[in-house]
Structure formats: C-alpha cells, structure tokens
Amino acid sequence: MARKKKETPEVNNTEEVKANIIGAGEVVCQPITETLETNFMPYAMSVIVSRAIPEIDGFKPSHRKLLYTMYKMGLINGGRIKSANIVGRTMQLNPHGDAAIYETMVRLSRGNETLLHPYVDSKGNFGKSYSKNMVYAASRYTEAKLESICAELFNDIDKDTVDFVDNYDSTMKEPTLLPVSFPSVLLNTNSGIAVGMASNICSFNLKELCDTTIGIIKNPDFDVFETLKAPDFIGGSQMIYDRNALEEVYRTGRGSLKFRAKYTYDKSNNCIDVTEIPPTTTCEAIIEKIIEKVKAGSLKEISDIRDETDKKGLKITIDLKRGVDAEKLMKRLYKMTPLEDSFSANFNILVAGVPRVMGVKEILTEWIAFRTECVNRRVFYELTKAKDKLHLLLGLKKILLDIDKAIKIIRNTEEEAEVVPNLMIGFGIDQIQAEYVAEIKLRHLNKQYILKRLEDVDQLKKDIEDMEDILASKSRVKKIIVEELTKVSEKYGKDRRTEIIYDEIEEAEEVEEVPDYPVHLFFTRDGYFKKITPLSLRMGGEQKLKEGDEIVTTVETTNRAELLFFTDKCQVYKSKASEFDDSKASVLGDFVPSKLGFDADEKPFCMIVTNEYTGFMMFFFENGKAAKVNMQGYDTKTNRKKLIKAYSDKSPLVAAFYEKEDVEYVLNSTAGRVLLVNTGAISIKTTKDTAGVNVMTLKKYHKLQSVRYYVEGEFSKPYRYRTKTLPAAGATLSADDTAEQLSLLD
C-alpha cells in the first residue's frame, strides 16, 4: 500500500516563493546576442574596470584596497605585524578570500623581488618571483608593514585630493584612486588578463621617470628618449638596445623588447654561473629547456646543470666539458633557451573608467593631468580650512574689544540656547563665530590667550592669498608637481639594475660548439670505430677486436675532426669525431654501419679524416684507372650526412687515399708488374664520380691488385718502375728487388 506523502510547510513556502518570482522555473528561448548583452557584457566590464586593468595611479583595486588598509592600520611608521592580521582587515574592503589577498601582498613585497620599488616591507619567507619552487610561507608565519615610499602614495589623502566611495557593504569608505606624487603607473611591472583585453606594463627607473615627467611638464614636445633610456627591472639582466623597437613601445604602448641573462665564467671550475635572468622567465624554465636540449643532442658541451639559488640570490651553474668556449656556448644558449627572452609590452590603463592603450608620453601626460587635479583639490581644501579659521579668528578679535561684555552676556542669559543668538547681537558676529566663542573654555577667557591666537590672522591672510594665486595659476601648480617629483627622485631614486647593451649583437648561428682535445682514432676492417684520448690509450692494454678483425686505419687528430666513411656502394657517410663518445682500448667500439645508418648489405671500405676539406682524394680501380678528386667536393654547407656517387662505379675500387700534397704510390697488378706513379702526373677533377684516367696498362684477364705508399729506398733501381708517360704497364720485379721483398716477408 502506497504511503501518503505528508505536505510540509517548507514545500508550501517554496512553491509560494516560486509563484512570486516572475518566470521562475521556466525555460525561455533567448537569442545569443541578448544573452551576451545581458549576462556576459556586465561580467566582462566588471573584470576590466574592477579587477584586471590598472588605473592611472598604477594600482589595481586589489592593490589599492590592501595598501589603504595597511595605511589605516598605521603601518607606515609602526612596526611589522602578522600578515594574517593584515589579510583579515583587508577583507573589509576586498571580499575575495584570504588566499587572493595574501598573494597580492606577496607580489608587492620586498622579499618576493617582483617590483623594482616594492610597497610592502616584509619579514619571513615571501618566495621569489624568479623561482616556481621557492614558495612563500603561510600568512600566519610572515610579518609586514608599508615601505617608506608609500608615504608618497598617501600624502594628503585626507585633504579631499581623491574621491571616496562606500565599500561592498557600505560600512566603510575607500579611495577610488591614490594621490600618488610620482608616476607609479610606470614605476613597477604590472600585468593583468581581463576579458578580451590584457595589460602588461614594464618597470622604469624612478630617477629617469621623474626626470622625464619633469621634462614633459616644462615642455610638451620633450623627447622622452633624452632621459628615459629603457625599462629597468629588479632582476637586472641585460636589454638588447633596439631603437626602433623601443620607439614603437614608447609611441604606441605596444611592442617587444629583448632581454638576456647575465653570467660569469668560473675558469677554475670550468663552469658558467648565471646570476641574472630576463624578467619573463624562471630558473626552472631555463633549466628544463637546457636539459631538454642536452637530451636531444643539441647541446653536447654541457656535462651538468643545477640550481644553486640561495639567500645570496639567484644562481644557475652550468658545468662545461673540457675545451668548451664559454662565450660561444652562451650565444647558442641565448638563441635556444629562455636565457634570452622577449617582454611583450601592452600599456593598457584605465583612464576615467575607460581602458586605453597609450604610449609613455601619453601616459605621463594623463598622470600629470591627474596629479594637477590632486594638487588643485588639496590646495582648495587647505584654502577652505584657512578661510574658515580666519573667519573664526575675526570673530574672536571682536570679542577681544570687550571680554567682560561677552562674559556678562553669557551670565545674564537664562537659557543655554539663547547664548549664541545673544553673542551674535551683542558683537555683530555670525552664528559660526558665536558658536566658536561660546565653546572657549573659561580658563582661556584672558587677554593673553586671545592675543596669541590673533597673531595667526596676518599669516592666514597671506596664506589664503597665496593659495588663491596657486589655484589661478597653472604654472604654479606645475612648479609644485616638479618640486615634489624632484624630492621623490632624490629620496628614493636608485641606480639602474638592467644593463643596456648598445653594441649590435650578432645572431648566433646554430653551430654546435665542439670541445677540442687530442684523440686517437681507430678503424677496423669490419667497420668498428674507436675514439680514445692519449691518457686513456696510455693507461689501456691491448686493443680488443672482434675475432678475425684487424685495425686498418689509425689517425692522431683532435675531437673536432671530420670523418668520411666510404662504402662499397659508391657512397660516403659524413660524421664528426665529436659525435662518437670517448672509448677505451678494452671495448670493441662503435659499429659504424649501425651508428650512421648504412643501407642494407652496405659495408665500409675506408675512413678518411680531415679538418678543412683541403687537398684531394685518390681513387684506384681494378681496371687500372685512377681518379684525383678535389676534396671540396665532399664539403657540404647543409650538413648532409650521406652523399651518393662518392666515386666512380665503372670498376671495383682497389684503394682510396686522402692527400694534401702530391705523393708517390706503388701499384701492383695480378700480372706481377709494378709501377711507381706520382700523383702530380694526374690532373685533378671536380666531379666526384669521374671514371679517372688510365694509369696502368693491363692485359686481358689481369687487374690492378693493390696500391700502397712508396717508401724511399725499398727498390734498388726505382727508375726501373717509373715512366715518363702514363699509362704504362710497369715492370716485373728485378732479382735484387725480389730478394729484398722475400727478406721483408721473412
């Protein structure tokens, strides 16, 4: 049996509420344009105007609320207090959660090293902007107060210099802007992402900024380049000076500027110490990129990299392999890693609630207008106060004429409410003056006190006249702003941190810097290769070889040598000694066909070692021909690893030699004939696969068997085997030479 559901008052109330809300619970078809206009646009405007984009005073609302709260807490002159206390108080103005408020404080702090001129004097671990791993401590552990420069943010804030509005629950008042006495909008880095727009402002040196602003005040056509050299960041680094790029940023507010890290080379430890990095990157990003390049084989000069950042400051140490040129390596690192990075400027600022992308001069002009209004409002406030005070003192002056009469009027007045009217009638003063006189204490109703107060009248009149003149004179207001800027510059100005590189920087080529040191190269008949250093060779034992294999080529050279492996398929594979790891005599070595990716069934024929691709190659073929090919034919600018048609395929190859100058060879045929040939008698060719010229005349069924270097004195009558013209058949060995050859064999 189904149980009857009991109706509860809550359900009835819910239904009643729904009935009272028009359209509640209904699905309504709405055009997307209307949805954007009614829902998305207000959200977008709120983010732009009230969150992400800084205003002309240089602050976002979150910054302003935090700093104003700290100011009201008396943290400009007092000692530091717990950050958690500040965060809690700030929530009265900024109801976005303690985490967001504390992150804002961290970024504004000295300890975090984000701002060129920090606003928060911090104590404790506030993390570091240049390291993602150095995380700030919780707010309950850290302490903070305002930096001394914040006095310039709040000077005269209580003199009606800026407008105040209610906070979110109308329980407090907060300023819409801060009456900053210097152009803080360009003093510190400030970035934000809104909806459909963003802002990214770089920091400038305070001295240069104040001088530039003063220059614009004095001359609207002032050239900002005269005083504002370039952006300046707390992290230092180096800026590559590009006049065109800087002009673009200064003129439009948008553009890209290049910054690179600063380093020192430690010769004793053979390492590079990076101590300053671009403002757009972090230590971790740099290290990860370098490790990635090392693993990919693009940076073989680096043996180790580590982050040695400590309390002394940032430090990335890069250990180098032996023989590496640190300067050349850094040029490659600048191009391949974030050690050189670009700052994309976007000077998007709210002016009167409207986002505007402006150049430096336009921003400073807007700030001057803003500051002019602040000064005028301050002077007007002080003028009003002075006039009110003068008005009261003039009333007091009339009382001075007859103090006894004033006392008599007060004593003879029966009702308290009639005291002020009676004083007004008795002395001919207005209500405000009468109220002031009536409030004077009995102990002050003496001639000395009143005369002392009246001494201020003349000075007040002069001050009022002076202030009225200021309000009527634009030049005097400008003079006041200039004086304030000069004082700020002298008091808080610092030397530049970011170094400007004016010299033209050459683009580093993608050329791998190879460590240069002596090596011994060994190549076997079966295609095994070893690269052994002299020290390792002296300490090693016998060469380990595959059974039946033997070393056919031994060369003493350096690690930067170029290697050419000619194969039996008329191809050559190019490599470098540096691409092979250092080996030992006790190992087989690298199998070249696998290392260089030979074709199937392709075998190495010989290894040629060169450094400059000078000289020529000599190829000898079974048909008795020889080809003399210019070595430059194998030098490729595109770093190709494989060249086809490396030599002629018309006849099988017998021998190949690399020569820098002409030499003499001994040619032996299967017919038992010997011929001495000097390479000077053979013309050089530029085509690699040239068939060559006839050198040794061969009878049918005979072929060239071997070619070797001629050793002076090995033949008793060497002229017997030489010839004036080529080709030649050569001669059989004489009895003396045969005996000598046999003795050598024995």
Calculate the CA 44 to chain-centre distance: 30
Residue 725 φ/ψ, nearest 5 degrees: -125, 155
Burial (Cβ within 10 Å: 0-12, 13-18, ≥19) of residue 104: buried
Q: And the tokens for 730? A: 């050569």
Q: And the tokens for 679? A: 């390479």
Does the active-site annotation cover 141?
A: yes
According to DSSP, the β-strands at 616-621 and 625-630 are: antiparallel
Q: CB of 358 within 8 A of CB of 347?
A: yes
What's the CA gap between 240 and 340, in Å, rounded? 10
Q: And the tokens for 721? A: 């085997």
What's the CA gap between 501 and 496, in Å, rounded? 13
What's the CA gap between 600 and 603, in Å, rounded? 9
- Kindly name the residue from 68, 119, 136, 141 that is annotated as catalytic: 141
Helix (H, G, I), strand (E, B) or coil at 738: helix
Burial (Cβ within 10 Å: 0-12, 13-18, ≥19) of residue 387: middle
What's the CA gap between 604 and 526, in Å, rounded? 8
Please give the single-letter amino acid code of residue 95: P
What's the CA gap between 590 and 302, in Å, rounded? 22
What's the CA gap between 142 and 80, in Å, rounded? 9
Burial (Cβ within 10 Å: 0-12, 13-18, ≥19) of residue 49: middle
3-state secondary structure string across 553-620: EEEEEECCCEEEEEECCCCEEEEEHHHCCCCCCCCCCEEHHHHHCCCCCCCEEEEEEECCCCCEEEEE
Q: And the tokens for 496? A: 């530049």
In whole angstroms, how far apart are CA 3 and each of 6, 191, 360? 9, 63, 77
Catalytic residue IDs: 141
